[in-house]
Amino acid sequence: MEQRALGRTGARASVIGVGTWQFGTDWGDVPIEDAHALLRGCVDSGVTFVDTADVYGDGRSERFIGSFVNALDEAERPFVATKMGRRVEQRPENYTEEAFLAWNDRSRENLGVDTLDLVQLHCPPTEVLADPATWDALDRMVDEGRIRHYGASVETCEQALLAMERGASTIQIIINLFRRKPLEEVLPAAIDRGVGIIVRVPLASGLLSGRYTRDTSFAACDHRTYNRDGSAFDIGETFSGVPYEVGVDAAAEFTRLCAEFGPEGAAPAQIALKWITQLDGVTTVIPGARNLEQAAANAAAAALPPLSDDFEAALADLYDRRIRAHVHDRW
Ligand SMILES: NC(=O)c1ccc[n+]([C@@H]2O[C@H](COP(=O)([O-])OP(=O)(O)OC[C@H]3O[C@@H](n4cnc5c(N)ncnc54)[C@H](OP(=O)(O)O)[C@@H]3O)[C@@H](O)[C@H]2O)c1
């Protein structure tokens, strides 16, 4: 698997990593044995970057990762990126240095390490990103050996640019075939500043696998049911903010384009991931996987041949016709 420099951190990350929101309970229940088998499969496929958060299953995802990673030999250990800040009401005054330290203590305990590889602010209010005190507190956490690096996970391109300007080493942002705005300014700025780009929701919450129909239903505890209207958190996190029926129809067209232009034998989900890895400025893509088969297929996408210019033109046209009006000026 290709490994890329994670911005200026000095760390390296596999071009396909793995997201582990699925180990929480917002998508149903993944038992610990399955989570460990999935992570084992990822490591065996060359994945060296794992994304989690203190809020996924209220610590369950971090604990599953900690128990897996700490049993590995040093040479096999992946880089583990976690996040903090979504276990409290989203008000700027809740983002105090005291809170940062408490959140950090809990994540270090869950992950079973003294020093976290990377902590990301977890889509905080813009005021938190703009406040110099936020970044000063993170600098002190590095000095104290609590974290090696810090970054921000953000909703909008404006927030990404702001966090980079304030000194984030990494930015986590949604980019996929249905979310192209970050290609305009965020990726060029990341290259200029030496910031690592971690791409989340690369499959538009699974839409780009082409498996769902208008009649597909998801579990009641799955955010694709309960956040479809954005009532629990930013609607852009669920199906990438694309109205479900619009997304299903666009994904069906994407599947047809894959058959016409794509590498033979590659599944749409793999082609959707490959497209992201080809973008200049992207460090790692973190598809969420529910089982070992999905994780293995996702890792294998790294080795696909490059997508052709004709394919890219058809994909850009699909976005312009079906998706742009729903999302482009929003995030
Ligand atoms: N605010 C934030 O910082 C934030 C927000 C969202 C996500 N994240 C991170 O980003 C990661 C990825 O985002 P995501 O999981 O929300 O969305 P995603 O990666 O776009 O979609 C994940 C879903 O795609 C389907 N899938 C995955 N691999 C597949 C394959 N090979 N073939 C067919 N279907 C496949 C599965 O759907 P089924 O469940 O239907 O099988 C899976 O649950 C998360 O796990 C998390 O680590 C961070």
Judge whether 285 and 18 are in contact, CB under 8 Å: no
Q: Is 122 in the pocket of ligand 1 (CB under 6 A)?
A: yes
Nearest to 70 by CA among 105, 27, 114: 114
Judge whether 50 and 67 are in contact, CB under 8 Å: no
* 3-state SS class at 16: strand
Q: What is the mean pLDDT of residues 119-144?
A: 98
- pLDDT of 254: 98
Distance of alpha carbon 263 from alpha carbon 314, whole angstroms: 15
Q: Is 201 in the pocket of ligand 1 (CB under 6 A)?
A: yes
Ligand 1 centre to CA of 203 (Å) is 6
The answer, yes or no, to whether residue 27 has pLDDT greater than 70, is: no
The answer, yes or no, to whether residue 42 has pLDDT greater than 90, is: yes
Pairing assessment for the beta strands 116-122 and 79-84 based on DSSP bridges: parallel
Digit-coded pLDDT (tens) for 55-114:
999 999 999 999 999 999 999 999 999 999 999 999 999 999 999 999 999 999 999 999
Nearest to 46 by CA among 21, 68, 16, 6: 16
Banded pLDDT at 31 (limits 50, 70, 90): confident
Q: What torsion, rounded to 10 degrees, do the Cα atoms 259, 264, 268, 274 define?
A: -130
* 3-state SS class at 171: strand
Distance of alpha carbon 103 from alpha carbon 85, whole angstroms: 8
Pocket perturbation via mutation, ligand 1, pick of 51, 61, 201, 270 by most ligand atoms within 8 A of CB: 201
Ligand 1 centre to CA of 139 (Å) is 31
Q: What is the mean pLDDT of residues 142-171?
A: 98
Ligand 1 centre to CA of 211 (Å) is 14
Banded pLDDT at 221 (limits 50, 70, 90): confident
The answer, yes or no, to whether residue 26 has pLDDT greater than 70, is: no
**Residue 330 one-letter amino acid:** R
Question: Which domains, from first to last, does the chain contain?
Answer: 3-214+246-327 (3.20.20.100)
Digit-coded pLDDT (tens) for 267-293:
999 999 999 999 999 999 999 998 899
**Residue 239 one-letter amino acid:** F
- pLDDT of 237: 95
Judge whether 282 and 307 are in contact, CB under 8 Å: no
Angle between helices 309-318 and 244-261 (to 10 degrees): 160
Q: Is 241 in the pocket of ligand 1 (CB under 6 A)?
A: no
Judge whether 27 and 58 are in contact, CB under 8 Å: no
Banded pLDDT at 23 (limits 50, 70, 90): confident
Residues contacting 117, CB < 8 A, separation 6+: 11, 79, 80, 81, 147, 148, 149
